[in-house]
A = this chain, B = another copy of it.
Amino acid sequence: MKKKGILVVVSGFSGSGKGTIMKRLLADHADTYALSISATTRSPRPGETHGQEYFFVSREEFEEMIRQGALIEYAQYVNHYYGTPRNYVIEQLEQGRDVILEIEIQGALKVKAAYPDTLLLFLSPPGAKELKRRLVDRGTEEESVIASRLSRAWQEAQGVENYDYFVINDDLEECVQEVHSIIRNEHARVARNHVLIETIRAELRNFAKGE
């Protein structure tokens, strides 16, 4: 019996190093994880490939996907749709891969509602001071953009209670290891092993009866 994969949502503050950690996780454990690819109606940016960063679809195609229930969750930002196609996720889970969705909190909670055994991870820098420093260090953002990001981060932090784990990214290597082992350990949760436990229990009963 092949064990089903776990659906994992990873969210986090911008500045939490989320993107880097996900890349490392996927690179180090290519057979274990699959990264869910979102569909979007926005245009590809230079260097972006259809089926790699996103599935780039038309507004009509996206709305057809909504109608057919082909998306686990979707949302609209700045006049563009973003959503998680269901088929790819289900396929990968059936093949035993843990599927990682890198989405934000509103989407995460929709996924959890649809699939209650989803594992929700939230990544954070060690503190708000460090978060501000990382945003400033990027050097690409204006002061006002940073202020709005921090304000946004604060709003995001409102929903963290709904997550399972709050992982501090203090040291990149350690954080990659921690996220990996949290997901690995999740496979040993009693709630995910009812069939295995039932099997062992039935065997024990038969042995005890001398069968």
Residues in B whose Cβ lies below 8 Å from that of A199 = 127
* Contact in complex: B147, A197 (CB < 8 Å): no
State the oligomeric state as a number of copies: 2
A176–B113 alpha-carbon span in the complex (Å):
35
Give the distance to chain B from A33, nearest Cβ to Cβ, in Å: 17
A206–B132 alpha-carbon span in the complex (Å):
12
* Contact in complex: A204, B166 (CB < 8 Å): no
Given contact pairs A157-B200, A200-B127, A203-B128, A208 touches B147 in the complex (Cβ within 8 A): yes
Q: Can you give 19 A-B contacts (C-beta < 8 A)?
A: A127-B199, A128-B203, A128-B206, A128-B207, A129-B207, A131-B204, A132-B207, A147-B208, A147-B210, A153-B204, A154-B205, A154-B208, A157-B201, A157-B204, A161-B194, A161-B197, A166-B190, A166-B197, A167-B188
> A-B pairs with the 10 shortest C-beta distances?
A128-B203, A151-B208, A154-B204, A150-B208, A157-B201, A128-B204, A181-B181, A165-B188, A150-B207, A182-B185
Binding site for B on A (CB under 8 A): 122, 124, 127-129, 131-132, 147, 150-151, 153-154, 157-158, 160-168, 178, 181-182, 184-185, 188-190, 193-194, 196-197, 199-201, 203-208, 210
